[in-house]
Structure 1
Amino acid sequence: MGKKLMRGWSVVAFGFVVLIFSACPSDAITCPEAIKSLAPCQDFLVGDAAKPSPFCCAGVQSILSQAGTPETRRDLCECFKKAAAAGGVKIDKAKQIPNSCGISLPVPIDPNVDCSK
């Protein structure tokens, strides 16, 4: 009887895990979460750091891994355009991040990029 009960609870627990992960898509990163992930890039993007830190690169990579849908990428594109304009980001330095971090971005780093495409 104890094994059957334990097996039953295991099935229920597994069902909850599946339900939780299906209800919360992993690629649904929000603008505030993305901006927070880029906090380690601040010294490079608005300051005098010569290159992005490994933590900056990890933050960018984390955002990319969570931006799995076109809608999420469009939302993040708009988010970053607004944040860059408001935060005094040096665009020439921002354009260096993909090469410096060894990553490929789905959209160009350009303040005039059309995020709807």
Structure 2
Amino acid sequence: MARIAYLMMLTVMVVGAFMMVEQGEAFTCGTSQQERTKALCDPFHRGEVQDPSAECCSALKAFREMAKTREERRELCRCVQERANRNRAGVPGPEGRIPKIDALPGKCGLPFIYSADRKFDCNTVN
């Protein structure tokens, strides 16, 4: 009987630890992958090149794959909107960047799932 109780307790602990790891991997803004994607894709966003590099597209794909659930994809959308709408010295304003940011998934062969435009409602992302 004690052995069964021990095995049940061990099972609960393993399942609990697994759930904690899964929750800890949730999508968050400001990750190193987001910064890498931004750095690799900035030449396209700024209009310095006509097409994004293969490295940019690979980074974008990896960044988007981090958002596995509907809520994480919505957070990704909000994150992109926040970053796109910041004014930074030497970088075109949001009105210049947003069309390029929105065109990037198509240029990289990825589906369009959100817009960087603040008028787009991220709560509609599936």
The residue type equivalent to 2:35 in the other structure is K
CA RMSD of aligned residues (A): 2.7
- Offset at residue 76 of structure 1 (A): 1.3
Residue segments in structure 1 that go unaligned for 5+ positions in a row: 1-15
When the two structures are superposed, what TM-score results if normalisation uses the length of structure 1? Answer: 0.70
Q: 1:105 corresponds to which residue? A: 112
Matches within 5 A, 1:12-91: 22-25=19-22, 28-33=26-31, 34-38=33-37, 39-86=39-86, 87=88, 88-89=93-94, 90-91=97-98
Q: TM-score, normalised by structure 2?
A: 0.66
**Distance apart, 1:96 and its partner CA:** 2.1
For structure 2, which runs of at least 5 residues remain unmatched after alignment?
A: 1-13
Supply the distance in 1 between the matched residues of 2:46 and 2:26 (Cα, whole angstroms).
27
SS at match of 1:95: helix
Structure 1 residue ranges, 4+ long, deviating more than 2 angstroms after superposition? 18-27, 105-111
Gap change, CA 1:66 and 1:21, over 3 Å in 2 = farther
The secondary structure found in structure 2 opposite 1:32 is coil
AA in 2 matched with 1:23 = M
Identity, % of aligned positions: 31
